[in-house]
Amino acid sequence: MSAKTIMIQGATSDAGKSALATGLCRLLARRGVKVAPFKPQNMALNSAVTVDGGEIGRSQAVQAQACGLEPHTDMNPVLLKPASRDGAQVIIQGRAIGNMQARGYHDYKPIAMRAVLASHARLAAQYQCIVAEGAGSPAEINLRDGDIANMGFAEAVDCPVILVADIERGGVFAHLAGTLALLSESERARVVGLVINRFRGDPALLQSGVDWLQAYTGKPVLGVLPYLHDLHLEAEDSLSCGAPAAARSGGKLTVAVPALPFASNHTDFDPLRLHPQVDFRLVRAGQAMPPADLIILPGSKSVLADLAWLRQQGWEEAIRRHLRYGGKLIGICGGLQMLGRKLHDPHGLEGTPGSGDGLGWLDLETTLASEKRLTRRRGRLALDDAEAAGYEIHMGVSEGPALARPALRFADGGCDGARSEDDQILATYLHGLFDEPAASLAVLQWAGLVEPAALDYPALREANIDKLADMLEAHLDLGPIRHCLPEPR
């Protein structure tokens, strides 16, 4: 089998590439096409653990679900996780190879490209179709040299490209026409269609603009996609400001999460953002920590730096006051490490080698190790013995008396995390803690919510993928690019 590849690129960042790729994956899978997702290079702090024990971007894990597949490291062979203003941890085919500054990574790109092409070739041998997603815009002039994320990849594998733009940003015709103008002749030739995303209103009022765009560019407009209200897809790397308005107005339990500069896997909190009885507050720089029933310290790609930043905001004293008055506190992954007495980074994995004081609310210490732990877990939460499932992604090894009261016990007999003696603090390395309905209910009850409603987050994710595919079925015309897609088996 040798797959046909089609690539989704955006005129801007956040144009809707991930959503279009996800919906197209589900649409093709429904039609009987054996399809797989692919993103050559992803820069994101939201990631997932794959079936082969590696790490990829969260959006490709969701796209794998849309295809009916388990996520695999070949679906996102290069993942960059920002760890400083101009540096990132570089993950190649699921494994961290170290941290690089921007200039050093630019020199490394030819090696990364070999990994990209090897992963693509393996997928192409197994599937009929690969839906590839670009990163940012193909018209970033300063990034064209050595590009592996957009047209550099498309040219290397000789695949067609769909270009999408977001009308919500304004200037959608300029975005599409301008992007095409900045491409080389061969790159323009491989763009087989344009898509206008997130349109509100009467499509008839846009038709004259669509007609002009097709005449001016010589490219067919494959669809004007409507704005989907209440659509939820796990974000690639952007922090949502909070829950939908309906959830905020009816909230009965207030949950506050500090928006740390290097917060990772904040998709952990999506089930809380969407819960109708939760008032979810993302607390940003310069804001006071609001009165809350539950505060959650999220994961972090740079724990000591984020902890120092949290203290600069004055939030350490605010959290201390929260605990003094009986509030609940959860630390997840990096948040767990912050709750201990000490953090040690002897190899400088997150910056300058050294140690720092933690918040000291749990009797444990953490040492950062060079080998990252990547594993899926299933077990029971100490709260109500509720079933829990998720994944671990961390480089820290924690030790101390606090771990004698674990937060979770796993099916293989292992334990994880800690609970404070007064039962106000729970800490765990498990990401995805709130995805499992039983675990989410147990945590909300522990935090003080009376008679919490069950929210089946996995079912909600599946329903939103179907919602996307239904919309594409109605508004995306694949006729002009039928030659780019395989026939259903």
Q: Which residues are catalytic?
A: 333, 431
Is 8 within 8 Å of 166 (Cβ atoms)? no
Backbone phi and psi for residue 174, each to the nearest 5 degrees, phi listed first: -65, -40
Is 131 within 8 Å of 3 (Cβ atoms)? no
Sorted by sequence, the CB contacts under 8 Å of residue 313 that are 6+ apart come out as 258, 285, 286
Region label for 184, one of left (φ > 0), alpha (ψ between -120 and 50) or beta (otherwise): beta
The DSSP 8-state label assigned to residue 486 in this structure reads P
Q: Which of 67, 70, 18 is nearest to 43 (CA)?
A: 18
Task: In whole angstroms, give the CA distance from residue 5 to residue 12.
Answer: 22
Q: H/E element holding 281?
A: strand 278-283
Is 106 within 8 Å of 149 (Cβ atoms)? no
Task: In whole angstroms, give the CA distance from residue 355 to residue 366.
Answer: 10
- Beta pairing partners, 367: 344, 397
* Buried/exposed code over 373-391 (b: 16+ C-beta within 10 A; e: otherwise): ebeebebbbbbeebebbbb
Q: Which of 191, 179, 86 is nearest to 140 (CA)?
A: 179
